[in-house]
């Protein structure tokens, strides 16, 4: 069950509401652009790759940039405004231990192209934000709303409030393999190997199952007690995708890394069609033949080999019912993994 309290979203969004256009966005732009009360030209992305971490989003973004109508924001592929810096982040980034709240004005400055090429292509150009934690990360919600057992609103609710016609792309993969890749990649100097992973997985599954004894699945998925070292709940995709489906409906496209890897040209064409961009499939295939994989597994991670067989079996058993839930919810067997 979702326990939403949207007035909390409005209360935290004064700077957003005050800067949004009263008369709507400029109709001749495909991305969401306007002139504010001071005459400053501002834009929001027309599309987002919302996640998930270690599911191929970096490579997807790089391949989509092949199309001339895809525009990388001046700030780059990823911007953590919505999930993190909008509300501050407890990460030791200032003397007080919190990242200062970034305003909506600053975010739009970072998203707005300042070249004439964008404006000359305004009816086709789509600014693409590739923040891969947008789907599921809601930093500090428990500290901000101590009376709630799950976020009173999500990034999906807020993004739909701001730009309801935005296109959202989510990329997922076999959650067991995603977790192993995630564990190796975000090691922060720690020693990580199949044995440490096995112990961490067992501890986190036990903790998560204990959570379910006293609370519902959604609350446990969003719990700030979840480990950031073993991001187990991140692979329970149905917990997070539901909010995006309910807000964006047909403006949400969910693809898998598996289908992308096996049928890259066809999957990319489907994404371009979703974004309403024409594409010559032969030219796309020629481009892909000469391209390299972005952000592939590093050599030092490859040397670790695979996770232990018992760990894989344990994770597959853990994720299986949630994969079924996702497949039923999206009515597509490809999510059974």
Q: Tens of pLDDT along 100-110?
A: 578 899 999 99
Provide the pLDDT for residue 296: 66
Secondary structure string (H, E, C) spanning 124-193: CCEEEECCCCCCCCCCCHHHHCCCCCCCCCCHHHHHHHHCCCCEEEEEECCHHHHHHHHHHHCCCCCCCC
Please state the rounded mean pLDDT for residues 311-336: 98
Question: CA end-to-end span of the chain, whole Å?
Answer: 25
pTM of the model: 0.93
The token pair at 323 is 């994969």
Place of tokens 């006293």: 214
The token pair at 94 is 């200032």
Q: What is the pLDDT of residues 15-66, one digit of tens each?
A: 999 999 999 999 999 999 999 999 999 999 999 999 999 999 999 999 999 9
Provide the pLDDT for residue 299: 67
Provide the pLDDT for residue 96: 45
Provide the pLDDT for residue 175: 98
Q: What is the mean pLDDT of the chain?
A: 91
pLDDT category, 4, cuts 50, 70, 90? Answer: confident
Q: Write the DSSP symbol of residue 81.
A: I
Contacts 24+ apart (CB under 8 A), 1-6: 1/216, 1/218, 2/150, 2/218, 2/242, 2/243, 3/148, 3/149, 3/150, 3/152, 4/152, 4/153, 4/157, 5/148, 5/152, 5/153, 6/152, 6/153, 6/157
The token pair at 334 is 């490809």
Contact 183, 230 (CB under 8 A): yes
pLDDT category, 125, cuts 50, 70, 90? Answer: very high
User: Residue 121 pLDDT more than 70?
Assistant: yes
Please state the rounded mean pLDDT for residues 153-177: 97
Please state the rounded mean pLDDT for residues 203-223: 96
Provide the pLDDT for residue 279: 95
Please state the rounded mean pLDDT for residues 81-86: 88
Contact 30, 46 (CB under 8 A): yes
Q: What is the pLDDT of residues 244-284, one digit of tens each?
A: 999 999 999 999 999 999 999 999 999 999 999 999 999 99
Contact 116, 36 (CB under 8 A): no
- Percent residues over pLDDT 70 in the chain: 93
């Amino acid at each position: 069950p979702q326990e939403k309290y949207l007035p909390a979203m409005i209360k935290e969004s004064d700077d957003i509401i005050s800067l949004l256009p009263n008369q709507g966005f400029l109709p001749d732009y495909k991305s969401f652009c306007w002139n504010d009360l001071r005459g400053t030209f501002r834009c929001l992305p027309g599309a987002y790759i919302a996640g998930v971490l270690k599911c191929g989003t970096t490579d997807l973004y790089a391949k989509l940039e092949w199309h001339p109508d895809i525009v990388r924001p001046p700030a780059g592929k990823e911007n953590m405004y919505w999930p993190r810096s909008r509300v501050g982040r407890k990460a030791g980034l200032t003397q007080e231990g919190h990242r200062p709240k970034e305003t909506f004005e600053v975010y739009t400055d970072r998203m707005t192209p300042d070249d004439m090429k964008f404006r000359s292509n305004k009816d086709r150009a789509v600014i693409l934000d590739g923040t891969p934690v947008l789907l599921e990360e809601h930093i500090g919600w428990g500290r901000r709303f101590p009376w709630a057992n799950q976020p009173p609103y999500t990034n999906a609710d807020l993004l739909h409030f701001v730009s309801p016609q935005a296109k959202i792309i989510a990329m997922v993969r076999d959650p067991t393999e995603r977790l192993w890749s995630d564990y190796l990649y975000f090691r922060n100097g720690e020693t990580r190997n199949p044995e440490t992973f096995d112990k961490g997985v067992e501890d986190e599954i036990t903790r998560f199952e204990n959570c379910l004894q006293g609370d519902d699945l959604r609350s446990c998925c969003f719990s700030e007690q979840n480990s950031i070292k073993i991001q187990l709940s991140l692979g329970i995709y149905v917990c997070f995708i539901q909010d995006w489906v309910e807000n964006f409906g047909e403006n949400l496209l969910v693809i898998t890394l598996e289908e992308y890897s096996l049928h890259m040209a066809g999957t990319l064409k489907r994404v371009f069609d979703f974004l309403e961009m024409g594409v010559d499939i032969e030219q796309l295939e020629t481009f892909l033949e000469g391209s390299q994989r972005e952000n592939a597994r590093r050599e030092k991670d490859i040397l670790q080999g695979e996770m232990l067989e018992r760990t894989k079996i344990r994770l597959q058993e853990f994720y299986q019912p949630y994969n079924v839930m996702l497949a039923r919810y999206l009515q597509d067997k490809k999510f059974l993994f």
